[in-house]
Amino acid sequence: MDSITRAAGDLLGVELSDPVDLGGSRRSTVVRCRTADGGSVIVKAFTGAPDSLRAFTAEAAGLSLGLAGPEVLGVDPEFPLLVMADLGAVPTLVDVLLGDDPAAAEDGLLAWAGGLGRLAAASVGRRADFERQWARYDMGRPSWEEEPWTVQNIAALPGVLGQAGVPAPAGLVEELTGIGTAGGHEYPAFTPGDTCLDNNLLTPEGLRLIDFEAACFQSVFLTAAYCRMPFSSCWCVFTLPAGTAAAIEGAYRAEVATVYPALARDAVWQAGVRQAVAVWTLDATVRLLSRAIRDDAPLHPTRRPAPTVRQLLRHRWETAADLTEFPAFARTVRSLLSEVAGGWEVAPLPRYPAFHDGRTGRTGEG
């Protein structure tokens, strides 16, 4: 961490000290450093691996838009690292959903959904700005739009199914290709990329987002599906009361409909969100099925409670089994439920602790 601290201090022209490791990922290291005047900053340094360099570019470009997240104090493409304002030690959505106060949990969820919707709405018309920032911090790696993960998942699915002994039905790849980006061309908006629970800070000033490593423009429906599934790519996945889930989806929809009026029509909205549920279910299947076949374990290595891999996959497949407008995909997930998950002795996915034992938030609907 000393080299990170020195490089960040040189970038800012100030002395930094007392680095505290805040974690990060295989792509990055995040530290809190003390400044000479008694304040603090957050430094995020990236490795030189190809996916880390793309993550650096996405983070620098996304935060530089100034639409959400902490203020960028400096960017060093040579190291590479970013220095950001410190938002402080504040609760995250994980904290309130794994807590015991249903009203606080629902308030946090509504703040999250409304905040993401306002971010999406404010970003419409800023795509060229994002592309300029991407070019400014380009490290020679393709963007997610140039190398879409949705296409990669479609290509990988038949092989993953084959490992599980489940044949891909005729027309599956073509059907998923038709779903594509779930409205990404018609209804694009900016997203930090990973809106998982622990990347959403509940500050006194309102919701603030961190982790822009996958920042891009994508379909608003892919974010909306986070409300319905819920939390499509997160480790902290449990179930929500029906009234709460509907309320947060409505909060997000109300914001994005201000810039895309067609989304106020139920037929358009429901079709798009159901496409997005298919896209995210495909993503979970490709990422986790091989792991689930071998063994079962909690999705997070240290945080508890956390669902197991098999619990999550079964829940995702059960949710997607009624997507009858996509018959080949629905047939695939039903086969996975019967032929793979049928032998898993795992409990159904429970409620988030804040809502367990029938407790609900202010919506009052279980």
Those residues whose C-beta lies under 8 Å from the C-beta of residue 135, and which sit 6 or more positions away, are none
| CA proximity to 225, closest of 235, 233, 236, 216 | 233
Number of H helices, E strands in the chain: 12, 9
Which domains, and CATH codes, for the chain? Answer: 2-85 (3.30.200.20), 93-358 (3.90.1200)
| Cβ–Cβ under 8 Å, residues 223 and 199 | no
Instruction: Give the Cα separation of 271 and 268 in Å (integer).
Output: 5
Instruction: Give the Cα separation of 18 and 34 in Å (integer).
Output: 6
| pLDDT tens-place string over residues 208-267 | 999 999 999 999 999 999 999 999 988 999 999 999 999 999 999 999 999 999 999 999
Instruction: Give the Cα separation of 214 and 203 in Å (integer).
Output: 23
In terms of Cβ atoms closer than 10 Å to its own Cβ (0-12, 13-18, 19+), residue 146 is exposed
Sign of the dihedral defined by the CA atoms of residues 349, 354, 360, 363, in that order: negative
pLDDT for residue 29: 93
pLDDT for residue 205: 83
**What backbone torsions phi and psi does residue 213 show, to the nearest 5 degrees?**
-65, -20
pLDDT for residue 363: 58
| Cβ–Cβ under 8 Å, residues 341 and 314 | yes
Please list, residue by residue across 155-177, b when 16 or more beta carbons sit within 10 angstroms of its beta carbon and e when fewer do: eebeebbeebebebbeebeebbe
Q: What angle do CA 22, 133, 152 make, to 5 degrees?
A: 75
Tallying the residues shown for the chain, one arrives at 366
SS3 33: strand
Instruction: Give the Cα separation of 216 and 188 in Å (integer).
Output: 10
In terms of Cβ atoms closer than 10 Å to its own Cβ (0-12, 13-18, 19+), residue 89 is exposed
| pLDDT tens-place string over residues 310-357 | 999 999 999 999 999 999 999 999 999 999 999 999 999 999 999 987
Which residues of the chain register pLDDT less than 50?
none
| Cβ–Cβ under 8 Å, residues 97 and 232 | no
| Cβ–Cβ under 8 Å, residues 152 and 22 | no
